[in-house]
Structure 1
Amino acid sequence: MTGLQNTEIQPNLQKPHRKQPVWFLLLSFLFPMLFLSAGFAMQHVYPLGDRQILVVDFWHQYYPFLRLLHEKLQHGGSLLYTWNSGLGSDFVSMAAYYAASPLNLLTVLVPDAWLREAVTVLLLLKVGCAGLFFALFLKGTFHRNDFSLCVFSVCYALCSYMLGYYWNIIWLDTVALLPLVILGLVRLVRDGKCRLYGIALGLSLFSNFYIGLFTCIFVCLVFPCLCVLFLRPRQVPGRILAMGAYSLLGGMLAACVLLPAYFALQLTYSVRNVFPSHVEFYENWRVLLSNLLSFHAPTAKDGLPNLACGLLSLVMLGPFLRSLRIRIREKVLAVLLLGFLLISCNCNVLNYLWHGMHFPNMLPFRFSFLFSFVLLTVGYRGFWLLLEEQLRGWDVLAALAVSAAFFGLSYGVQENHAVFYSAAVMLLYVFLLALYLGKIFGKRLFYFGLSIVMVFELFENVRMGTELVSTSDHTTYPAGNGAVQQLLDEAAQQDSTLFYRTEMNTWYSLNDPALYGYAGLSQFSSMANVQVSKWMRALGLPASEAGNRYYYAGGTPVTNMFTGIRYQIFRSGTAADVRSWELLSTEGGSSLYRNTYDLPLGFWTEAALLDYNCLPDANPFENQNTLFRLATGVETPLFTAVRPSVGDSDGAEITYSGNSLFSYTLDTGAETHSMQLIYTVPEGASLYGYLSAANASSFSVLRDGERMADYSASKQPYLFPMGDFAAGETVALSVALQSESLSGMVRCDMYVLNRQALEKGYARLQSGAVTLTQFRDTAVTGTMTAVTDGLCYFSIPYEDGWKAEIDGNAVEIQPVGDAMIAVSVTKGSHTITLTYCPKGWKLGCSLTVGGIGILLCLFLLERRRKRPFLSPAEAQRKKQPKRMTSEEIYEKSQSNDGISGDAVSRISASAQCSDSAADRGGSPFSAAQ
């Protein structure tokens, strides 16, 4: 860390400002917003076009979860739990990762129809805050308040990290708050003022604990650097204690979300990562360093770390390293910190440690904004010397040398246009620097020329960034929403029960329940319970533990029973298994169906259900047979396998390889490629299929050559209904293959449903259905009658936060398959109550309240003392008489206040000596030693 100065260095004969203008801070806030708005305008983002900024996870996750928060804020509901995601989920931990930004509270002021536009405005505000807070950091650290704040703060707010990852709106708060955290740390070490550090750190951790982790690690790196620069050895222990105490205070302020999030993370897939067995480096170092140039597209999903933060900081690196007015220790610390961060962006072990003992999916090197922060601070340190008139002609040559070095490093490994454009811009910066040092340009003309070059650079970077990140269609998101909302309203009007679940026949996003606003099954979240993902995959739903997702795709009657799905909405097409779904209504091409084998949130099962072993890698039909048998006691297999044969193919050669596996080889000369698997039904039956085809784009079910149903292919294989067939009919599964892979394997299972076994088992389960008498987000009460001793199963994901009572007595909750909730019941009628409170929530809230109380006490104590805490160095300076500047001496000598000529001469000589010492000081840190 570098660039931190002591307040004693002032330009000669310059009066201190009595009132600090705020224009430069305001411009630092507005300029990044204007640049990014211009980028959005070029991409035709609404209202200047029909596009929107929702892409990738912003499209699938961030907006749907923000919509959940918006609904709770406007219409009420607990912030502890939500039923509109993943059969029910801890909302505190979800919000801690996706929606804890304090700015999100502003969305309560806008209606749901304008929420996407509000999110766009929030994104612009966060980018603006990044510029503002970096300007505050520079102002508070270097004690300057001029246009230079705007120059470097805009570079931070629009660095390649922000331009490549701005669609990860959930990260931006913590990135924006980093300068305030470090400014607070500077004040803690330099001045003994600790409050800003504790508050900023707490707000950073609260806004997003994941990126906040990077801030905490960075603080641990920066703190010893500051101690070396500012403190005498005897002062270090006290500052260590202060830093530790206020770090703990920052953690306390955010504990209400940190503790529940910590316990929720223990249930996710990410905790199962393995430490790298050996050290390796990802990229050639020239390639990595060439990414510091401008005029190339940033990384938006996969690629190199985003390191670029404006070419001016690279140019000023030369004067920083050459200047004799900067002490060696400052240069060494800056180079070491930059080097460590750069190595972290290229070393697998350090990358693993930075990401919290985890290798992330896509979006690599999520901590690389820290490198931009340090490089910009170093660049501003060199620029500060320029403004303080402490640079010389040799520094221009040093800036030119650094520019030439980066040109040589990048040529041949970076895109040519990026290399030559960057070289031209760096030469322009060096040229302006030379003109200013040569007194040819005044400060205003220098800033004017600097601004023109920088506007060109930033505009091009913003254009390439927004173009790479891209947009999505504004008018159709979410698809068929009007018709879906009407069908949801119809279901609510005709259903008198307190709770039920609904799903879509095909997914639009991977969080459709949160997006459309209904209690459902689907969830795609980094906080997803890995055991629930295994449960879903074992039942044949599309799910991935490593992908943190599971979602709905039709399933079977057993799937729908044990997940509590009562209604299904078809945005297009009709239900294939008509005996399992009853058509209720149609609206705008969409249809509402009710499950004829519906079971409520809870129902009686045999006690043997506790023996169910969830096997996600096993055959899902056999898993359902086992689950149904253990729950009902019906021994007759529910599903029986049939083997399809190879039918006609188009542009592909298909052979059966055994064990439901079919191999294929594509004809490179054919325009389309598909395969058909056929089966002739000997007697009337309901068929279900399971398809695993990584290279498939879609597949369809045909009855005697006529298309019955279409399905979307997925990276995750899943089980789907094929329909009801009469004896002698031919059913075919037609799979469209992509030409990306010329050969491969397809797994296809076809099973016949035993309807009699289904009816018998369903009747037993329905007889012990739970009738809900009270339902809230965090409390469920219902009555049920058990025909015999057994279990009461609930289609609620198992978490430690759930507590159960039967007839007023607390009972132990038992997990089924380590994924779902069940309680033991005896024969007879019972009242069962389930209540939920996230693990760690109460303790976390107590710590947060305690942290706020400590802050208030410290504030009142400071007010009572009527003066802030002073460091020993400041206290010593307070005791010394104030020295008069040369200008003040001159003004005093012209007045009739009785000062003798000899006195004036002595004071003037003393002031000149002081001014001369300031000129020779070289480093702004010298007075602190």
Structure 2
Amino acid sequence: MAPFGSSSLLTVDLGQQYVDFFAYFRHSLLHDPSGIFYTFQKALGGEMVSTWTYYLLSPFNLLLLFFPDHNLTSGIFLITVLKYGAAGLSFTWLLFKTGRQTGWATLGFSTSYALMGWMIANQLNLIWLDAVILLPLIILGLLRLIDTGKIRGYVGWLTAALVINYYMAYMMAIFVSLFFIWEITRRWTDRQTLVRQTIRFLGSSLLAGGLAAVTLLPTWAALQSSKATYTVTHWSFKFDYFPLKMLAKFFLGSFNFNQMPKGLPNIFVGSLVLIGVLTALLFKRRPRRQWLATLLVTFFLGLSLCFDPLNLIWHGLQYPIWYPYRFSFVVCFWLIWLAADTLQPDLTLNLRQILVITIVASAVFVYIGLSLKAFDFLDDQQFIYGILFFVAALCLLALPRHDHQIFQLAFFLFAVVELSCNAIVSLNHISYVSNPEYQTYQKILTTQTDAVTRRDKGLYRLTPTFMRTKNDPLSGQYNGGSVFSSTLEKSMVTFMGNIGSPDGDGFVAYTNGTVLSDALLNDKYFINQQASTAGTKNPNKLNQTPLLTVSTRPDLASYMPIKHDGAITTYENQNALPMGFIADSDSLKGPLFSADPTQYQANLWASLTGRKADRQLFTAENFDRVVFNNVNQQTKLTGAILQKTNIMKPGSVTFYFTPKTNNSFYLTLGGTISNTKASFTLNDKPLGQYPTYRNTIIVNLANHQKGKRVKLTVNLKKSSLWLQNFTLYQFNNPQFEQSLKRLQAHPLNIQHHSQSSLTGTITAPTNGAVLMTTIPYSTGWQATVDGHRVPVNKAAETFVALKLSKGHHTVSLTYWPPLLLPGLIITILCLTGIGLFVGFRYLQRRQN
């Protein structure tokens, strides 16, 4: 791994999402702090508080400040290794301070914890690993709170968890409450003690919440327009899978790529721990009340891993998109804690215990062996090795202990070998981005975008027609139209889907623009890779590697080329509207909704211009000729179901049309026409298109091609294909340009701008004029006109707008996170209260 090799740890979300947030983290702290609360690099613009509190507040991230963007992979490697080590260290500290284990055995259990199955499977979710580090420290603080009444450790570490990652802290809070109930049940003496301990626990937990209010409250406000909108309200009382299937995850290497989107919980903890858990559950080595409490907690956690309602509660009433059973790290902690509490130095398994454990384990082996083909993550070799490791562990724990030091060393080495084997096999089941591949792309992207930003210091948006990730704008530091984030506002997802660009619950990708949407959204520059020369070797150019084209844009013929760099050309869109302009008052009513993105765009444009005729900017067209190859003939194309005549042979349909004007031509494709079902070529070249979309998208087929034949070929990848919303449209460019002049007549001339504020001047032609912006609406935006506070309106159901009186005005817009001030006040009050209490206690001790 970099910096020691050519590989990197980048895979799935770590490579497609987090690394770009880390680049944004560096840039914000080192170069542009104005982007901490808000940035135009997130889709069309969006709040960033929830991004920081979910992705970026780990103190380990400060190490990234020492790694340039193109070497971030090395920083990620360092942080990953340190988090593994810190997880082991914190669990060691817990065992040491509670006296549960001593000597080398302590390191055996901490190795099992640091390299447990959840940790290995979620190594790529680097932002979650702090929870594994903090959980033992929170539990240690909780035990001290119960033992001595001292709250410092518990409150401090719980506050840290809430600040660093509220999402994982929520799961830890559930488990800590469960652990508290278990612990006070074990220690029951009298009701008065129970009440006193419960009050301390609840009060300390609330205090931790108060101390973290500065991040929790603005995050909660932000989530109301993003992640919280996906909360499930209808419950399904069912099992997610047959519960015994989770036993297969106790075998080493029980993880692969297929387990990421929808798999079983990752609960591998090693054979020694499993035997310790079986010993704790099967044999009453503790008083009956303690044993029953342990059984109930274990049963509840096990049920949570397979029973849908409990699983939903652990995930904050939202089904996770990929990475199921994210809370299973607390289950692993519980199993390892039970084993550490049970496998004391004086414990040697007797014949009866060995026999019972052997019978239970044999039943599991038989079940898994008979069902082996049902587990794609488990093969014969892993199954056999799993049995051998378990048998060896059982023999180790059954051997007489003449020398405890030798036994503990053997215990530690056994854990290291088994957990390491699991890590190696599991991580080799997935692939990674090479370090040179990442570095080369970053150099290409930053070289091209830096050339534009040096040329133009204004406030505008920029779109490359190629992409590594949807978060390229964050790593390339430019204002784009794409993002992949769990905290993406739902209104932005809805808007992008409405205008015909790919969208999902956590992402948008502005890859399917039209000349209308380009102009409206202030998309002033485009960076395009020429398909005919992509990948041409040129020793004097960076772009020697073909880039992934996600947008074929013949419309670029309408824009002005301003820079050529080998295979890459940069264009300026002279039709791009400024970030703000005077629009018709109809814009405050919102566009007339349409499921057809071309009609939605036309309705939106008409609401801005006030011209009803603009609702007909797009008109449906017919293809001149259609050729079917091994596909059944169709007379009506839109909504048709294509069927291969011979399913064993390739099937395709070729569409021909010859534009009679130089207008733009577009094709709409329904969400069912995905890249898994069909591939497209335009004029015998692959049609660049972002592969994932769920709503109807708009594809650009022609521009300035009057009299030139256009050929579109659809190649079926399956036996059939539904041509959902498959319609050809012609765009009325002359009418659009005429309407555009109306909106260009009264621009907002921006004099100063940052990521979270702008100031400019504008002349309103009439009273009640509407200043329309393409800044996404949020209650965090505050506006002043000529120094006076004015209300912020929502235009076109999506954007910030202001009402102006006739005349010349100076307009300022500033973003301030909602509920940040109340959160800050609560945190300060809690800190002040703690300070006063500590000071009072100090004075008491001085007087005594």
After TM superposition, list the pairs within 5 Å mapping 1:90-239 onto structure 2. Answer: 90-142=47-99, 144-232=101-189, 233-239=191-197
Matched residue SS, 1:223: helix
Deviation at 1:194, TM superposition (A): 1.4
Cα displacement string for residues 223-248 of structure 1 (whole angstroms, at most 9, x for unaligned residues) = 12111122422111111111111111
Moved more, 468-477 or 690-699: 690-699
State TM-score, norm by structure 2: 0.90
2:391 to 407, 424, 427: 427
CA shift in 2, pair 1:323/1:486, >3 Å:
closer
Contact 2:702 2:710 in 1 (8 A): no
Deviation at 1:325, TM superposition (A): 4.1
CA shift in 2, pair 1:134/1:239, >3 Å:
same
1:337 to 262, 272, 297: 297
Deviation at 1:737, TM superposition (A): 3.2
Matched residue SS, 1:476: helix
CA RMSD of aligned residues (A): 2.5
Percent sequence identity is 27
Inter-partner Cα distance in structure 1 for 2:714 and 2:691: 9
Which residue of the partner structure matches residue 594 of structure 1?
572
Cα displacement string for residues 123-168 of structure 1 (whole angstroms, at most 9, x for unaligned residues) = 1111211111111222222354321211111111111111111101
After TM superposition, list the pairs within 5 Å mapping 1:517-536 onto structure 2. Answer: 517-536=477-496
CA shift in 2, pair 1:405/1:200, >3 Å:
farther
After TM superposition, list the pairs within 5 Å mapping 1:315-714 onto structure 2. Answer: 315-321=275-281, 323=283, 325-384=285-344, 387-388=345-346, 394-414=352-372, 415=378, 416-435=380-399, 438-439=400-401, 441-477=402-438, 480-497=441-458, 499-544=459-504, 547-573=505-531, 575-613=553-591, 615=593, 618-636=595-613, 637-644=616-623, 647-653=626-632, 655-657=634-636, 660-666=638-644, 672-692=650-670, 693-694=673-674, 695-696=676-677, 698-702=679-683, 707=685, 710-714=688-692
Q: Is 1:281 paired with 2:239? A: yes
Inter-partner Cα distance in structure 1 for 2:160 and 2:61: 14
Inter-partner Cα distance in structure 1 for 2:5 and 2:646: 41
Code of the aligned partner of 2:57: A
Deviation at 1:434, TM superposition (A): 2.1
Deviation at 1:778, TM superposition (A): 2.2
CA shift in 2, pair 1:432/1:866, >3 Å:
farther
Contact 1:283 1:346 in 2 (8 A): yes
1:762 to 740, 746, 753: 740
Code of the aligned partner of 2:8: Q
Contact 2:115 2:420 in 1 (8 A): no
After TM superposition, list the pairs within 5 Å mapping 1:839-854 onto structure 2. Answer: 839-854=818-833
Matched residue SS, 2:438: coil
Deviation at 1:393, TM superposition (A): 5.5
Code of the aligned partner of 1:752: Q
Q: Is 1:803 paired with 2:782? A: yes
Q: Which has the larger radius of gyration?
A: 1
Deviation at 1:593, TM superposition (A): 0.7
Contact 2:680 2:715 in 1 (8 A): yes
Matched residue SS, 1:200: helix
Cα displacement string for residues 632-657 of structure 1 (whole angstroms, at most 9, x for unaligned residues) = 12333222221226623444445254
CA shift in 2, pair 1:159/1:656, >3 Å:
farther
Code of the aligned partner of 1:349: P
State TM-score, norm by structure 1: 0.83
Moved more, 753-762 or 414-423: 414-423
CA shift in 2, pair 1:683/1:587, >3 Å:
closer
Inter-partner Cα distance in structure 2 for 1:109 and 1:728: 57
CA shift in 2, pair 1:745/1:397, >3 Å:
same
Inter-partner Cα distance in structure 2 for 1:652 and 1:48: 53
Cα displacement string for residues 10-58 of structure 1 (whole angstroms, at most 9, x for unaligned residues) = xxxxxxxxxxxxxxxxxxxxxxxxxxxxxxxxxxx32343221111121
Matched residue SS, 1:566: strand
Which residue of the partner structure matches residue 88 of structure 1?
45
Contact 1:701 1:710 in 2 (8 A): no
CA shift in 2, pair 1:682/1:575, >3 Å:
closer
Contact 1:654 1:675 in 2 (8 A): no
Deviation at 1:479, TM superposition (A): 5.8
Inter-partner Cα distance in structure 1 for 2:457 and 2:119: 49
Deviation at 1:92, TM superposition (A): 1.1
Deviation at 1:678, TM superposition (A): 2.4
Code of the aligned partner of 2:386: S
Inter-partner Cα distance in structure 2 for 1:97 and 1:668: 51
Inter-partner Cα distance in structure 2 for 1:160 and 1:710: 39
**Structure 2 residue runs without a partner (length 5+):** 373-377, 532-551
Which residue of the partner structure matches residue 11 of structure 1?
none
Which residue of the partner structure matches residue 921 of structure 1?
none
CA shift in 2, pair 1:749/1:596, >3 Å:
farther
Contact 1:792 1:822 in 2 (8 A): yes
Q: Is 1:818 paired with 2:776? A: no
Moved more, 159-168 or 273-282: 273-282
Q: Is 1:300 paired with 2:236? A: no
Inter-partner Cα distance in structure 2 for 1:517 and 1:753: 33
Matched residue SS, 1:507: coil
Q: Is 1:832 paired with 2:816? A: no
Contact 1:603 1:766 in 2 (8 A): yes
Moved more, 551-560 or 599-608: 551-560
Which residue of the partner structure matches residue 19 of structure 2?
63
Inter-partner Cα distance in structure 2 for 1:231 and 1:249: 25
Inter-partner Cα distance in structure 2 for 1:426 and 1:311: 5
Matched residue SS, 1:411: helix
Deviation at 1:395, TM superposition (A): 4.1
Code of the aligned partner of 1:619: D
Contact 1:644 1:679 in 2 (8 A): yes
**Structure 1 residue runs without a partner (length 5+):** 1-44, 868-929
Inter-partner Cα distance in structure 1 for 2:169 and 2:810: 44
Code of the aligned partner of 1:846: I
Inter-partner Cα distance in structure 2 for 1:710 and 1:390: 66
CA shift in 2, pair 1:519/1:662, >3 Å:
same
Contact 1:478 1:515 in 2 (8 A): no
